Amino acid sequence: MSQTNQTLGEFIIENQSSFKYTSGELSRLINSIRLAAKVVNHDVNKAGLVDIIGAAGEVNVQGENQQKLDVYANKKFIQTLINRNIVCGIASEEEDDFIAINSQDENHQNKYVVLIDPLDGSSNIDVNVSVGTIFSIYRRVTPVGTPVTLEDFLQPGHQQVAAGYVIYGTSTMLVYTTGAGVNGFTLNPAIGTFYLSHPNMRFPEDGKIYSVNEGNYTHFPQGVKDYIKYCQMEEGDRPYTSRYIGSMVSDIHRNMIKGGIFMYPKSSKDSNGKLRLLYECNPMAFIAEQAHGKASDGFGRILDIQPTALHERAPFFCGSKNMVEKVEEFMRNSLK
């Protein structure tokens, strides 16, 4: 049985046999992400002391201004994954296209692809607010030993074999799932080791926190407007508390612990939503479902969406099960 004084490495070894693919590659992959997260954490914590704050002067494929730490974190995660010779492909929110990786062996047998948002909420770095990294792992669907193709990345979220996030805040945590529950590990900075601190994390079925950028209220669909008014209504255990950090990792992490819902709906400004399906929605949805929560596009399960593009966007509602179902009810009713 897992103990809260376990290191992440010990936990991975102990639980490796419960994963249906027991080659050990996935364990090595999680360890690589752990290593890259420690490196990025070290530099995030130096923000303000070295020249890593502010815009990098580049625009990513999303049309967004890249922050210096976006570029740095992207390079560190990609370099670490390539150098460890574990994956056959990587897709990043910061890259135009996926990266195909060939092993030094001509008959490379690597089976996993990783999709990553290297630094979620990076604009918060300038003001010393929590940011995060999100990752998603799939087994390739094309033949092992051949170069990966787009098909390996465009898999529905329910095909994920692992997903997780790192939150760089007052403490640094790595939270992940391999489909058998969600566990959180806190970094002890004195010795550079992650320890199991939050075993078997679960969303409360109900919550009293709603997280949404209400500055976009006038652009939201009517169903979302109606749900926000419902949250603000003084009745029963309402009004709920509005809490929005602007870093999805931070908002969802808080809501998983305290109970709540995170919403980033489509709007008249972003007709398909703003969050990336492959790098943000799918991994967080997988984590949410494994933590007894729910994730939806407002009408159906996020993990059942068949992606059609590497940087596809989707509306996103994620959190305590009853709260997500309530906003879905408002969405359906708004169409009548």
State the DSSP H helix or E strand holding residue 75, giving kind and residue range, or none if neither. helix 68-83
The annotation status of 119 as a binding-site residue, yes or no, is yes
The annotation status of 320 as a binding-site residue, yes or no, is no
The whole-angstrom separation of Cα 209 and Cα 106 is 52
8 Å CB contact between 133 and 40:
yes
The annotation status of 38 as a binding-site residue, yes or no, is no
Q: Looking up tokens 């996926």, which residue turns up?
A: 98
CA angle 160, 165, 171 (to 5 degrees): 160
The annotation status of 120 as a binding-site residue, yes or no, is yes
The annotation status of 105 as a binding-site residue, yes or no, is no
Helices (H) and strands (E) in the chain, counts: 7, 17
Angle between helices 25-44 and 8-15 (to 10 degrees): 160
8 Å CB contact between 99 and 114:
no
Cα distances (angstroms) measured from residue 206 to each of 72, 115, 235: 38, 31, 15
The whole-angstrom separation of Cα 45 and Cα 108 is 37
Cα distances (angstroms) measured from residue 262 to each of 119, 313, 315, 317: 18, 16, 11, 6
The annotation status of 117 as a binding-site residue, yes or no, is yes
What lies within 8 Å, CB to CB, of 1 at 6+ separation is: none
What lies within 8 Å, CB to CB, of 259 at 6+ separation is: 203, 204, 205, 206, 207, 208, 209, 319, 320
The annotation status of 58 as a binding-site residue, yes or no, is no
The whole-angstrom separation of Cα 281 and Cα 263 is 11
**Annotated binding-site positions for substrate:** 120-123, 213, 244, 274
Known binding-site residue numbers: 93, 117, 119-123, 213, 244, 274, 280
> Which residues define the annotated binding site for Mg(2+)?
93, 117, 119-120, 280
